[in-house]
C-alpha cells in the first residue's frame, strides 16, 4: 500500500480533550479500581490507589467525565461530601454492580484527582431523580468564589478556592436509562435545567465560563439517531435558546452477536467484524455534524439588537469503546479483558476522532479502569496496564498538533490504516500505521512532497492476537521503541515501512 502525506494539507488542531477518559461508579471502576481509601492494605495516596494514580499521572488525561453514565441519573452529590465516615450509605445497582456504596469518593475526591492530574473535569448532573435546585447547588458548591454558605462548606471540606468546573452534562442517555424521553420532552427539561445554571460572572457583558452539554442521540441506532438530532434541533430553533455549548453522542462498538466470540477467544471473522465495527463512528459523526448545522440554520435572526444568535454547538463523543457480550454477565460488572483486537480499535477510533478534529471537540473512552474498554485492570492489590493504555501513551504527541488530510486507508489494501499530524512548530510528523490484518505482515510505502527522515518508531504487537496482559504476565503486550533502520527503508521522498501483523505503530519523521 502507498500513502501520500502532504504536511501542508491540514485539517485543524487536535484538541487534547479528544483523548478524554470516563470514570463511573460501576463495577470496580472507582471503588477498588481508582479508590481504595486511606485505611486499605493496598498502597494509596490519600485513598487513591498509588499504582493507578502513577499510571494516570504518566498518561496525563486532559479530560475526565464523572460520575456517570447511568449512575449520574440517581446520584445525589450531597451524599458524597463532608467527613467520609459520616457520608450516606446507599446501594449501587448501576449496571449490576450490586454493592454497597459508601460515597467515600465524592465531588472533592474527584475534583482533587483532576487537579493532581491536570485534567479538565466534566461533571454530569442528575436529571432523572435530581432537581434543578440540586444541580444549581452542586455548581455553586464547586465554583462560587464569593463566601456563600455553599462556598464556605467547600472551604470547610478542604478547598477554599473554587474548582472552576467548566463542563457540565445535562442528563445522560435520556433516550434510555436517563428517562426514556423523546427529544421534545428532553428539550423541555433541558431548557429548565440549562436556564438555571449560574453564570459565575460579575459583569453583565462578561461571557460565562460555564459550558452546558446536552444529551445527544444513541449513536448505535441508525434511524433514531438521525430523528433525535433533527427533532431536538428543530425544537431548539423554535423560540429562544437556552445555553447550549456541546451535544454528546455515545457510540459503543457492540460485539454481542456470537456466544463463541469473547474478549479473548475469536476467529478471523470475529476479529474483522470488531475491527470494522469501530469505523462506523466516522460516518456517524460526520452525519451528526451535518444534522447539527442543518438544525442551527433553522434558528431565526434575533429580534433585538442585544439578542445574540446561537450559531455553533460542539459535537462531543462522551462514551466510546468496545463492548463484548460477556461484559453483561461479568463480575465485577462490565469487566472485560483487552487484546490487540481492542488495542487496534482504540487506535482506529483515536485516529478517526483526530481526523475529524474540525467536527468533534471532546471524546471520552469508556471506561478507564476495570470497565469495558479499560486502560487499567486491577485484581486485589495488583494492577496491570492493558494494551489500550499503550495506545493512548503512543498517541500523546498528537495532542495539540495539527491533523493532516491523509487517506484513512488504501482502498486496494483495506487493512492498513493511517493517520498523521504535524507538530506545532512544523518540524515533525507523527504517522500512525495500524496493520489490522490479524495474521499477515505488510509493507507500507509513505510518499512525501519534501525531504523527511525517520527519527524513531514505537510498535505495539504480540505474537498471538489473542494475548492479553494478566497478573501473571503483566507486560506480555507492551509498546516498545524499535530501531528504525530495522523496519524503515528510505530513498528520497519515499519510505518503506515493514509492519507486523495485528500491530499499531507510530513513526516520527523529521522534516527537511
Ligand atoms: O459505560 C457504561 C454505560 O454505558 C454508561 O453508564 C451508560 O451511559 C452507557 O449506556
Res 413 pLDDT > 80: no
Tell me, what's the pLDDT at 1? 80
> How many distinct structural domains can be found in the chain?
1
> Is residue 216 in a domain?
yes
The DSSP call for residue 327 is G
- Cell numbers 465560563 correspond to 209
> Is residue 434 in a domain?
no
β-strand pairing of 503-511 with 63-66:
unpaired
Rg over CA atoms, the chain: 23
Ligand 1 atom nearest to CA at 71:
6
> Is residue 318 in a domain?
yes
Ligand 1 atom nearest to CA at 372:
1
Supply the residue whose CA is at minimum distance from atom 8 of ligand 1: 69
Supply the residue whose CA is at minimum distance from atom 7 of ligand 1: 69
Of the chain, the end-to-end C-alpha distance in Å amounts to 24
250 CA distance to ligand 1 centroid (A)?
Answer: 9
Whether residue 367 is preceded by a cis peptide bond, meaning omega within 30 degrees of 0, is: yes
Question: Using an 8 Å Cβ cutoff, are 114 and 121 in contact?
Answer: yes
Three-class DSSP labels, 412-477? CCCCEEEEEEECCCCCEEEEEEEECCCCCCEEEEEECCCCEEEEEEEEECCCCCCCECCCCCCCCC
Res 492 pLDDT > 80: no
Q: How many whole angstroms separate alpha carbon 395 and alpha carbon 181?
A: 37
Supply the residue whose CA is at minimum distance from atom 5 of ligand 1: 69
Tell me, what's the pLDDT at 376? 98
Task: Give Cβ neighbours of residue 226 (< 8 Å, ≥ 6 apart).
Answer: 217, 287, 291
Q: How many whole angstroms separate alpha carbon 333 and alpha carbon 188?
A: 34
Give residue ranges with CB within 6 A of ligand 1: 24, 26, 68-70, 172-173, 319, 366-367, 372
506 CA distance to ligand 1 centroid (A)?
Answer: 31
Q: How many whole angstroms separate alpha carbon 346 and alpha carbon 324?
A: 14
Q: Among residues of the chain, what percentage have pLDDT more than 70?
A: 99
Element (H, E) at 151: helix 149-156
Nearest to 1 by CA among 465, 441, 473, 394: 441
The length of the chain is 512
487 CA distance to ligand 1 centroid (A)?
Answer: 41
Whichever domain contains 123, its CATH number is 3.20.20.80
Q: For residue 420, what pLDDT band results from cuts at 50, 70 and 90?
A: very high
Q: How many CA atoms lie within 13 A of 400 on its CB side?
A: 7
What is the per-residue DSSP string for 273-319? HHHHHHHHHHHHHHHHHHHHHHHHTTSPPPSSTT-------EEEEEE
- Cell numbers 492530574 correspond to 117
Which structural domain, as residue segments, surrounds residue 249? 15-36+46-379
Q: How many whole angstroms separate alpha carbon 347 and alpha carbon 275?
A: 10
Res 2 pLDDT > 90: no
Question: What would the mean pLDDT of 385-391 be, rounded to a whole number?
Answer: 98
Ligand 1 atom nearest to CA at 176:
10
Instruction: Write out pLDDT tens, residues 352-368.
Output: 999 999 999 999 999 99
Nearest to 61 by CA among 347, 365, 348, 338: 365
> Is residue 500 in a domain?
no
Q: How many whole angstroms separate alpha carbon 191 and alpha carbon 279?
A: 34
Q: How many whole angstroms separate alpha carbon 354 and alpha carbon 159?
A: 36
Question: What would the mean pLDDT of 77-105 be, rounded to a whole number?
Answer: 96
Question: What would the mean pLDDT of 283-304 be, rounded to a whole number?
Answer: 97
Task: Give Cβ neighbours of residue 292 (< 8 Å, ≥ 6 apart).
Answer: 229, 233, 247, 313, 315
> Is residue 192 in a domain?
yes
Q: How many whole angstroms separate alpha carbon 46 and alpha carbon 84?
A: 12
The DSSP call for residue 411 is T
> What separation in angstroms does the CA of 146 have from each of 34, 143, 209?
32, 9, 16
Res 198 pLDDT > 80: yes
Please choose from 27, 92, 172, 319 the residue to mutate so as to test ligand 1's pocket, defined by most ligand atoms within 8 A of CB: 319
Question: Using an 8 Å Cβ cutoff, are 71 and 125 in contact?
Answer: no
Instruction: Write out pLDDT tens, residues 24-83.
Output: 999 999 999 999 999 999 999 999 999 999 999 999 999 999 999 999 999 999 999 999
> What separation in angstroms does the CA of 444 have from each of 18, 79, 340, 453?
27, 55, 20, 16
Instruction: Write out pLDDT tens, residues 304-328.
Output: 998 899 999 999 999 999 999 999 9
Three-class DSSP labels, 154-198? HHHCCCCCCCCCCEEEECCCCCCCCCCCCHHHHHHHHHHHHHCCC
Question: What would the mean pLDDT of 375-391 be, rounded to a whole number?
Answer: 98
Question: Using an 8 Å Cβ cutoff, are 225 and 180 in contact?
Answer: no
Tell me, what's the pLDDT at 415? 87
Q: How many whole angstroms separate alpha carbon 169 and alpha carbon 248?
A: 8
Question: What would the mean pLDDT of 16-23 be, rounded to a whole number?
Answer: 98
Supply the residue whose CA is at minimum distance from atom 6 of ligand 1: 69
Tell me, what's the pLDDT at 512? 81
> Is residue 412 in a domain?
no
Nearest to 24 by CA among 87, 59, 73: 73
Q: How many whole angstroms separate alpha carbon 59 and alpha carbon 396?
A: 8
> Is residue 26 in a domain?
yes
Ligand 1 atom nearest to CA at 321:
1
The mean pLDDT of the chain is: 97
Most distant pair of Cα atoms in the chain: their distance: 69
Please choose from 70, 72, 322, 332 the residue to mutate so as to test ligand 1's pocket, defined by most ligand atoms within 8 A of CB: 70
Res 193 pLDDT > 70: yes
The DSSP call for residue 355 is H
Supply the residue whose CA is at minimum distance from atom 9 of ligand 1: 69
Res 411 pLDDT > 70: no
Tell me, what's the pLDDT at 329? 96
Res 219 pLDDT > 90: yes
Question: What would the mean pLDDT of 203-217 be, rounded to a whole number?
Answer: 96
> Is residue 499 in a domain?
no
Res 412 pLDDT > 80: no
Amino acid at each position: 500500500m502507498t500513502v501520500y502525506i502532504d504536511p501542508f494539507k491540514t485539517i485543524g488542531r487536535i484538541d487534547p480533550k479528544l483523548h478524554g477518559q470516563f470514570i463511573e461508579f460501576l463495577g470496580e471502576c472507582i471503588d477498588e479500581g481508582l479508590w481504595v481509601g486511606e485505611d486499605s492494605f493496598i498502597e494509596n495516596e490519600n485513598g487513591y490507589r498509588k499504582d493507578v494514580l502513577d499510571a494516570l499521572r504518566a498518561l496525563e488525561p486532559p479530560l475526565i467525565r464523572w460520575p456517570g453514565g447511568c449512575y449520574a441519573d440517581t446520584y445525589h452529590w450531597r451524599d458524597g461530601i463532608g467527613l467520609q465516615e459520616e457520608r450516606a450509605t446507599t446501594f449501587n445497582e448501576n449496571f449490576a454492580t450490586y454493592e454497597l456504596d459508601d460515597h467515600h469518593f465524592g465531588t472533592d475526591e474527584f475534583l482533587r484527582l483532576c487537579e493532581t492530574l491536570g485534567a479538565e473535569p466534566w461533571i454530569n448532573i442528575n436529571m432523572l431523580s435530581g432537581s434543578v435546585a440540586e444541580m444549581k447547588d452542586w455548581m455553586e458548591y464547586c465554583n462560587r468564589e464569593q463566601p456563600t454558605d455553599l462556598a464556605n462548606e467547600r472551604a470547610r471540606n478542604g478547598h477554599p478556592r473554587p474548582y472552576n468546573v467548566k463542563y457540565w452534562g445535562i442528563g445522560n442517555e435520556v433516550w434510555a436509562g436517563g428517562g426514556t424521553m423523546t427529544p421534545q420532552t428532553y428539550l423541555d427539561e433541558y431548557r429548565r435545567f440549562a436556564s438555571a445554571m449560574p453564570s459565575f460572572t460579575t459583569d453583565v457583558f462578561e461571557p460565562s465560563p460555564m459550558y452546558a452539554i446536552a444529551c445527544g442521540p444513541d449513536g448505535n441506532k441508525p434511524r433514531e439517531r438521525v430523528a433525535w438530532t433533527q427533532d431536538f434541533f428543530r425544537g431548539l430553533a423554535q423560540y429562544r435558546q437556552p445555553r447550549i455549548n456541546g451535544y454528546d453522542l455515545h457510540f459503543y462498538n457492540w460485539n454481542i452477536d456470537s456466544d463463541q466470540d469473547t474478549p479473548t477467544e475469536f476467529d478471523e471473522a470475529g476479529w474483522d467484524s470488531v475491527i470494522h465495527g469501530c469505523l462506523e463512528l466516522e460516518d456517524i459523526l460526520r452525519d451528526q455534524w451535518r444534522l447539527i448545522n442543518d438544525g442551527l440554520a433553522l434558528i431565526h435572526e434575533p429580534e433585538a439588537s442585544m439578542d445574540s444568535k446561537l450559531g455553533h454547538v460542539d459535537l462531543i463523543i462522551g462514551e466510546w469503546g468496545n463492548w463484548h457480550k460477556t461484559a453483561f454477565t461479568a463480575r465485577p460488572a462490565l469487566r472485560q479483558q483487552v487484546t490487540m483486537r481492542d488495542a487496534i480499535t482504540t487506535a482506529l477510533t483515536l485516529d478517526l476522532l483526530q481526523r475529524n478534529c474540525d467536527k468533534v471537540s471532546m471524546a471520552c473512552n469508556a471506561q478507564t479502569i476495570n470497565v469495558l474498554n479499560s486502560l487499567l485492570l486491577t485484581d486485589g492489590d495488583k494492577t496491570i496496564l492493558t494494551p489500550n493504555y499503550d495506545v493512548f501513551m503512543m498517541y500523546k504527541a498528537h495532542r495539540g498538533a495539527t491533523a493532516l488530510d491523509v487517506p484513512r486507508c488504501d482502498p486496494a489494501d483495506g487493512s492498513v490504516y493511517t493517520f498523521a499530524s504535524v507538530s506545532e512548530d512544523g518540524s515533525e510528523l507523527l504517522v500512525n500505521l495500524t496493520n489490522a490484518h490479524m495474521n499477515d505482515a505488510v509493507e507500507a510505502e509513505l510518499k512525501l512532497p519534501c525531504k523527511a527522515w525517520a527519527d524513531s518508531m514505537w510498535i505495539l504487537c504480540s505474537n498471538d492476537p489473542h494475548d492479553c496482559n494478566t497478573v501473571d504476565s503483566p507486560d506480555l503486550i507492551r509498546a516498545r521503541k524499535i530501531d528504525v533502520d530495522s523496519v524503515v527503508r528510505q530513498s528520497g521522498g519515499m519510505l518503506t515501512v515493514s509492519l507486523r501483523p495485528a500491530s499499531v505503530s507510530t513513526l516520527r519523521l523529521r522534516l527537511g
